[in-house]
A and B are shown apart, each in its own frame.
Chain A
Amino acid sequence: MPDFARIYDVLVVGGGNAALCAAITARRAGASVILCEVSPPPLRGGNSRHTRNLRALHPGPTQVLTDSYLEEEYWDDLNRVTGGKTNEELARMCIRASQHAPDFLASCGVVFQPSLSGTLSLSRTNAFFLGGGKALVNALYREAAKLGIVTLTDTEVQHIQVEEGHATEAVISHCGFPQRIRFKALVAACGGFQANRNWLREYWGDAADNFQIRGTPYAQGVVLKDLLAQGVQQVGDPTQFHAVANDARAPMEDGGLAMRLDCVPFSLVVNRNVERFYDEGEDVWPKRYAIWGRLIAQQPGQIALAVTDSKAVMNFLPSVYPPYKANSIAEIAAMAGFDAAKLEKVVADFNAAVRPGTFKPMVPDDCTTEGLVPPKSHWARRIDTPPYYAYPLRPGITFTFLGLKVNEKARVLMADGKPSANMFASGEIMSGNILGQGYLAGFGMTLGTVFGRLAGEEAARHVRN
């Protein structure tokens, strides 16, 4: 039983990478730390459990990263995916600090591996965790235990007592029993609100019922809402999130990475009205996969169908659930419950618009369409070789961007613009500071590690002073 009578130096709310990086850093700096993770032990780690890599700046090849990836290119990538909706100062700070993120994680026992296979070729820009995010989470919890951090699972932080920008006490439910934790500094690292369907409905209405929550079902946004209601400054568009094209047959929560479908660049994608709605081949998939969830979320019924043929089926990772497979487009349409005549016409129009080119699956090639609206800019090949394949798609929401406004020290800002005396934030709960929209593969873990370390460092410094 933890000691609830004492005053801890730092309370960390959350149990994923951002929380653990903060807790470990604060503890290493000498602070006493208590960490509250809402989930039971096997599901601990929030969305970090489902992650696989982080994006890191590096001036030259490292053990796990090839070539180099410098600040300007990283910034360009980030600026492009967010369409300029970002905070350049914070973003560049994060990018520069990302250089040291892999070493920090390695110091906590996280093991990296070179990327071996798969269709997302990211070995230049992203460092992969051996075994994925759960292995990372396990390593961080082992390090936390070694350092003597008090780690509570099955523990929900329900309310933070804030007085004039100063947090003093947390009301929690520990294994179902009400408790209070007193502390000198707070790190909020408990994710977005994406698993809170009622909150999503405020912005999306009934469409929210069709959103699949890819990650932890525990991201209810309880502390986020609580702090916003007590004068913490809000950042980010509440309708913006990281969302991918998920298999429509996936579980509504916690389906994780394996539910995403990478077939889009090698397919035609139509909505329920059997109309194409976006350029499937706009750019390489690592730079486009995270916009497709939102695109589908904006379609009627929040459903889409990706259609391709036997030529392309080995160009992307297999799906968990078998694809619809038939020898004619009409049969495929019938299996998916889409209008057969319309789908045949869409495919025929597309095939007629395809220009000859040399197909290169991993780079933007010259296989494109002419006169088609919207166009398919790359990887456009005629869909003409049976058997045909189709995959039903739904929006798979990873995390929401609405969050707490922070400064370059991860310190939370109050609505009046003044920094909070003792509140810090890291990870998805403050992702909206940098991600106005869009997403860059592996950036979430970078954000969590960089701001986690900052938050932990600053919280420990605050306590010392």
Chain B
Amino acid sequence: MAVSVDEAVSPGPVRDRRPPRRRSGGRGRVVIEVAVLAVLAAVMLFPVLWMIETSIKENRDVYAIPAKFFDFTVTLDHFKDVFVDSGGGPTTLSGSFLNSVIVAGVSTVLATVLGVPAAWAYSRFSVKAKKDQLFFILSTRFMPPVVVVIPIFLMYRQVGLFDTKLGLILIYTAFNVPFTIWMMKGFVDEVPAEYEDAAMLDGYTRLQAFWKFTLPLLLPGIAATAVFALIFSWNEFVFAIFLTSSDAVRTAPPAIAGLIGGTTVDWGLVAAASIVFALPVLVFSYLVRKHLVAGVTLGAVRR
């Protein structure tokens, strides 16, 4: 990665030489810029490619010194090992993937159900100290997870939510509601309130107007928001590791991290598990790429 730092510096002198180059025609400069971009893209993508390679290498090639880039034997054993254990049954890792699906899915649905109506209300009506309320909501999302998890841990231990899926679902919902409200408020703001006013002139109540006219228009936004919430809970690690202890409840991130606990690490398996884990995220992010700016800033920045 030291490589990338060097690359980052190199555009400096190039930029300094610009004025003369511009006069002599921009062709050379375009070539340099494209080359710099290509190198940077290669550096950014190399770790991902290397992980993919590792996941399909045989073990002796994984640990080969010097590293083998091209001439290795391709095998899909590591991917099989992720799901099927030596006895032929499902692995604990595959169970943790299932747990992740349940926890991320249910918490996303809950966050959507709670967040969308709230976002609509914040967008449409005058609420006392609206700005302060919205700030408070977003700031709960900024709290350091390691700090929040201490009292949550004690709380869960008290009420029996420790090491349960419900406990994880609740905390993930609480963690996604601020995001859903902020993200959805932007989408609701884009739908003119006049639609609802017109419907109400026709005799609908406000609630019916929301349900029949605004909500259908919001569906694409709701889908995008839900996908982000899903990604956030799918990727979450801190709550998952501190609020669970058994394999039956543990979600995929702590389970995958647990693979490197022992004295010897099966990196082929780690790579395969990571890829299985990351693939849905990449597919989903591609689906919501239009809303990426809003999504990754928790709905705060919209373009």
Asked if A and B bind, the verdict is no
> Which A residues lie at the B interface, using CB under 8 A?
none
> Which B residues lie at the A interface, using CB under 8 A?
none
